């Protein structure tokens, strides 16, 4: 079978296209998984942070206030607190209600159903606190009780629909631990929700807090509170402390944070349409890049066909003794020149990344390496080392001796640590060491062996010895290079203050 040049080149180029197609397929699935993971982690983090600010912080303050109020009431003399003549409670309760965003009212009651409320809008003869849904049915000391939504007897000016409320209450005991009464405060959920008006959820998401009966109790839109509800199936699916699920009925991604006391659940809801837009944007860029690459590839294939055809033509003419070019530049000479240039670049790069005196990595290499390891979220330890009394060595014995000391410390460090750490000359007599992985105890042991090796070195000069101080820090997720450096520097300073020639570190 006759094979033409064009067919041979075309077949070769198509074969070379196979790895590109495999790479494109792998990249497609990688982008899809990566975008999905980023979406899940981003919304999970936003839901956790928003829940912490809107629920956890406010609930913590509410608990502190209720505990303070309950501790201010003497259970042995609860009758006087219910009396309208008690001046202290007349001041404390209005102050708590009016000076915070958490409460709309308060009520103190005894076991006989007698009570005192603020504001005084409840008819004494028709109201029994013990029968109210917020009144705890068990007598546990120092236990706060958050009620489910209930119908309030006092009209809610913010929400005329059903006048639902939630109260937090705490039992009052006397000095011998006997139950004497209860103090309860009605939550102002509209004002508590004001913090959400400044929160922007990406992808047009919605953040809301609901009670276990499905009622929305906190929302950026006050008109949603106690008016709308979520599907009860969401409550059943939110079984772990936090997580997410997809509601196939509403076509929504639902992220949640569950609490036990109060029994609230914080939800962040993202529509599947918004979720799909993220993928569409990523894949549009991906397919545009693929299409561009294919066009470029086809152009290259066409140029290669032309080039090989010309090359064969020139080879044919040279075989027949015809000089087709008098220029000295050839493909071989260009290749040799490029290889030589690449070697020169490699040598220059090595010079910029290796300290000429010590053979350690330079500060530039350190900055690049620590940024890479933090960006990849890999755990590591950082040791900052400073030669003790180095200035005195330079001043007394000269800079040549100082250089010898620095070289010895560096080379002994490479011999002791190079198999599981990277050493850098950080500046002057300071050395930085990055330990990727490994336990704190192992790293401390190897550093101490290095320290002993340096300290035990015998020098020609009498009364001359070398030592170093070291600060060993452990990187925590989320820390920047500057933060871990500052932490290691503080530990190094502590080692200097401790008397030098020692290692100071904190595990974890």
pLDDT in tens, 294-347: 888 888 878 877 777 777 766 766 665 555 554 444 545 545 555 676 677 777
Predicted local distance difference test score (pLDDT) of residue 278: 81
Q: How far is it between the farthest Cα atoms of the chain?
A: 125
For residue 310, count CB atoms less than 10 angstroms from its CB and return exposed for 0-12, middle for 13-18, buried for 19 or more. Answer: exposed
Predicted local distance difference test score (pLDDT) of residue 465: 83
Check if the beta carbon of residue 175 is closer than 8 Å to that of residue 226: no
Predicted local distance difference test score (pLDDT) of residue 9: 66
Q: Is residue 224 over pLDDT 50? A: yes
Q: For residue 253, what is the enclosing H or E element?
A: strand 252-258
Instruction: Give residue 90's pLDDT band: very low, low, confident or very high (50, 70, 90).
Output: low
Which domains does the chain carry? 1-321 (3.30.450.20), 351-505 (3.30.70.270)
Which is more confident, 163 or 229? 229
Cα(51)–Cα(58) distance, integer angstroms: 10
Check if the beta carbon of residue 469 is closer than 8 Å to that of residue 501: yes
Instruction: Give residue 496's pLDDT band: very low, low, confident or very high (50, 70, 90).
Output: very high
Predicted local distance difference test score (pLDDT) of residue 492: 94
Q: What is the mean pLDDT of residues 214-222?
A: 93
Q: What is the mean pLDDT of residues 147-156?
A: 78
Predicted local distance difference test score (pLDDT) of residue 87: 62
Q: For residue 236, what is the enclosing H or E element?
A: helix 232-237
Q: Is residue 228 over pLDDT 70? A: yes
pLDDT digits (tens, 9 = 90+) for 106-136: 888 888 888 888 877 676 667 888 888 888 8
Verdict on whether the full-model pTM lies above 0.75? no
Check if the beta carbon of residue 167 is closer than 8 Å to that of residue 187: yes
Q: Is residue 158 over pLDDT 60? A: no
Q: Is residue 25 over pLDDT 90? A: no
DSSP for residue 148 = P
Predicted local distance difference test score (pLDDT) of residue 301: 77
C-beta neighbour count of 334 within 10 angstroms:
10
Instruction: Give residue 168's pLDDT band: very low, low, confident or very high (50, 70, 90).
Output: very high
Tally of residues, the chain: 508
3-state secondary structure 393-430: HHHHHCHHHHHHHHHHHHHHHHHHHCCCCEEEEEECCE
Predicted local distance difference test score (pLDDT) of residue 29: 80
Predicted local distance difference test score (pLDDT) of residue 247: 94
Say whether 382 sits in a helix, a strand or coil.
strand
Predicted local distance difference test score (pLDDT) of residue 160: 46
pLDDT above 70 coverage of the chain, percent: 87
Which is more confident, 468 or 86? 468
Q: What is the mean pLDDT of residues 57-61?
A: 93
Which is more confident, 382 or 105? 382
Q: What is the mean pLDDT of residues 133-154?
A: 83
Check whether the bond before 161 is cis (ω within 30° of 0).
Answer: no
Predicted local distance difference test score (pLDDT) of residue 365: 92
Check whether the bond before 262 is cis (ω within 30° of 0).
Answer: yes
Structure token pair of residue 504: 């100071």
Cα(232)–Cα(212) distance, integer angstroms: 9
pLDDT digits (tens, 9 = 90+) for 362-371: 999 999 999 9
Check if the beta carbon of residue 472 is closer than 8 Å to that of residue 485: no
Check if the beta carbon of residue 353 is closer than 8 Å to that of residue 365: yes
Predicted local distance difference test score (pLDDT) of residue 329: 46
Say whether 505 sits in a helix, a strand or coil.
strand
Q: Is residue 466 over pLDDT 70? A: yes
């Amino acid at each position: 079978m006759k094979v033409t040049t064009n067919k041979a080149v075309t077949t070769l180029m198509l074969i070379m296209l196979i790895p590109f197609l495999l790479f494109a397929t792998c990249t497609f699935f990688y982008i899809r998984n990566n975008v999905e993971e980023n979406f899940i982690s981003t919304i999970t983090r936003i839901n956790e942070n928003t829940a912490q600010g809107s629920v956890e912080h406010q609930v913590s303050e509410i608990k502190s206030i209720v505990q303070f109020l309950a501790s201010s009431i003497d259970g042995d003399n609860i009758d006087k607190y219910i009396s309208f003549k008690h001046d202290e409670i007349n001041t404390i309760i209005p102050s708590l209600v009016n000076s915070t965003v958490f409460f709309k009212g308060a009520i103190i009651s005894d076991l006989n159903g007698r009570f005192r409320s603020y504001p005084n809008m409840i008819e004494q003869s028709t109201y029994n606190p013990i029968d109210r849904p917020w009144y705890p049915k068990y007598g546990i000391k120092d236990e706060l009780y958050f009620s489910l939504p209930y119908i309030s007897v006092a009209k809610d000016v913010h929400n005329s629909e059903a006048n639902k409320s939630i109260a937090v209450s705490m039992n009052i005991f006397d000095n011998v631990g006997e139950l004497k009464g209860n103090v309860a405060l009605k939550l102002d959920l509209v004002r508590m929700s004001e913090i959400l008006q400044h929160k922007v959820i990406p992808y047009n998401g919605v953040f809301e807090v609901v009670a276990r009966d499905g009622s929305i109790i906190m929302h950026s839109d006050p008109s949603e509170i106690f008016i709308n509800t979520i599907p009860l199936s969401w409550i059943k699916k939110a079984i772990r402390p936090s997580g997410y699920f997809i509601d196939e009925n509403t076509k929504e991604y639902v992220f949640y944070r569950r609490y036990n006391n109060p029994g609230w659940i914080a939800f962040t809801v993202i529509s599947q349409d918004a979720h799909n837009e993220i993928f569409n944007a990523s894949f549009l860029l991906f397919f545009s890049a693929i299409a561009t690459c294919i066009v470029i590839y086809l152009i290259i294939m066409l140029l290669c066909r032309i080039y090989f055809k010309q090359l064969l033509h020139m080879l044919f003419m040279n075989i027949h003794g015809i000089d087709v070019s008098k220029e000295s530049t050839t493909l071989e000479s260009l290749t040799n020149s490029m290889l030589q240039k690449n070697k020169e670049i490699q040598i220059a790069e090595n010079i910029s990344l290796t300290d000429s005196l010590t053979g350690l990595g330079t500060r530039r290499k350190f900055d690049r390496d620590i940024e890479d390891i933090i960006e990849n979220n890999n755990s590591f330890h950082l040791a900052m080392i400073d030669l003790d009394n180095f200035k005195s060595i330079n001043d007394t014995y000269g800079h040549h001796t100082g250089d010898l000391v620095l070289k010895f410390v560096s080379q002994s460090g490479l011999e002791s640590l190079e198999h599981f750490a990277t050493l850098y000359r950080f500046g002057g007599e300071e050395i930085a060491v990055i330990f990727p992985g490994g336990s704190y105890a192992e790293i401390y042991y190897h550093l101490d062996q290095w320290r002993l090796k340096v300290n035990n070195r015998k020098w020609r000069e009498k009364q001359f010895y070398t030592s170093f101080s070291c600060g060993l820090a452990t990187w925590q997720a989320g820390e920047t290079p500057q933060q871990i450096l500052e932490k290691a520097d503080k530990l190094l300073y502590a080692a200097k203050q401790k008397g030098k020639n020692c290692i100071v570190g904190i595990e974890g």
